[in-house]
Amino acid sequence: MKIEKEIMNRVNVHLASHYGMCFGVRDALAATRSTYDENDVTVLGQLVHNPLVSQELTENGIKQGDLNNSITDIAGTVIITAHGASESDLSRWASTHRKVVDTTCPLVHKVHESLVSLIDSGFFPVVIGKKGHAEVNGLVGDFPQAIVIEEDEDIFDVPYEGKIGIVSQTTQPIERVDELVEKIRSTRNACEVRFIDTICSPTKNRQKAVKDLSEFCDLIVVVGGSNSNNTSQLVSTVEGLGCRVVQVEKPEDLILDWFIGAKDVGVTAGTSTLNETVISVSERIKAISEELAVKDREYLGKERILC
C-alpha cells in the first residue's frame, strides 16, 4: 500500500495570487481592438511582448511599424504601444493626416514625469533597466546624456560628482534595483543621489506572489512571451530562489517529462500574458497529471502481477 500511495500522487496546480495581464496592457489591447473596423492601422512597435496578441492583431489587419520609420510611409491610424515613447517621437508622428492613438501605460507616464522632474531639479539622469527595451528607449529618447544601467559595470559611466537622479524601468525586480542604487550611492560619496521608485505595483505583486509559490512548489511554470522582460524577470527570481522553473508561451509548449515526480506545481505569468492563456496552460497541466496517473496505474498493476 505504501508503493500505491507514493505512485498515485497527482500534480496539484497552484495559481499565483497575482499573475498575468496588468491593467495597462489590458487597456492598450482594448484601445487597439477598438480600431479593428478602421482601415490602415499601424502599431509602432510590438503592442505587448506576447506572440498570441501579435497574431491576433495581424489576423485583424493591424500592421506593425517602427517608431524610427520614416513617417511619410505610414498614414491612417498609428498606435503608440503600452511601453510609451519619447516626446520627440510623439511630436514627430503627430500630423493632420494621421490619427495617433497613445496607449502608453499610466505607470510608464509616471516614470517619464519623474525623470523630467529630476532633470529640471539639476540631477544627472540615470535609468535602471534593460538596454534597447522599448520602454527604456522612450525614457531616454529626449535625454541623450542619460545613462542606462543594466549590469554592475554600467555604473562606471555614472559621474563622480554633482547630483544624480535615478528612476527605474517599471518591470525591474525591486531587489536588483535597490542593489544597484546602493552601489551608486556607495561609490559616489561626493554626489547627491536621489532615487524615485518607479517600479509598478503589478510587477511588485507578481514578484512577491511567485516567491510565495516557490516556497512550497516543486516546479514553477511561467507563462509569457520569450521576449517579455517582466516574464524573464519572474523566471530569474524563481531561479535565484533555487526552485525549478520553466517558461512557456502556450499550452502546447508543455512537456510531460517536466512533471514527473512533481506534486505541487505553481503557475504564474508576465504582465503581457492573456489570462485565457494562463488558464489553458493550467488545464493542460491537469491533463498531463491525469496522463501520468494512468501510467502510474499501469505500472502499479504490473508490480502487483510480478509480486
Cα dihedral value 239, 243, 246, 247, nearest 10: -50
Report, as residue numbers or ranges, the catalytic residues.
135
Greater pLDDT, 11 or 265: 265
Hey, what domains does the chain have and what are their CATH numbers?
2-21+202-306 (3.40.1010.20), 23-104 (3.40.50.11270), 107-199 (3.40.1010.20)
SS3 162: coil
Region 160-166: mean pLDDT is 96
pLDDT of residue 68: 84
Comparing C-alpha atoms, which of 150, 135, 86, 139 is closest to residue 115?
Answer: 139
Closest C-alpha to 87, from 60, 118, 68, 112: 112
For the sheet with 76-80, list strands across it. 63-65, 41-44, 76-80, 98-102
Give residue-wise pLDDT tens across range 200-248.
999 999 999 999 999 999 999 999 998 888 899 999 999 999 999 999 9
pLDDT of residue 299: 54
Judge contact between 141 and 88, C-beta under 8 A: yes
- Report pLDDT for 169: 97
Tens of pLDDT, residues 25-62: 999 999 999 999 998 999 999 998 888 899 999 999 99
pLDDT of 304 reads 47
Residue written as cell 505587448? 48
- pTM of this structure: 0.86
- Dmax over CA atoms of the chain, in Å, equals 83
Count of Cβ atoms closer than 10 Å to residue 132 Cβ: 9
Record the cell numbers describing residue 258, joined without a space.
517536466
pLDDT tops 50 at residue 274: yes
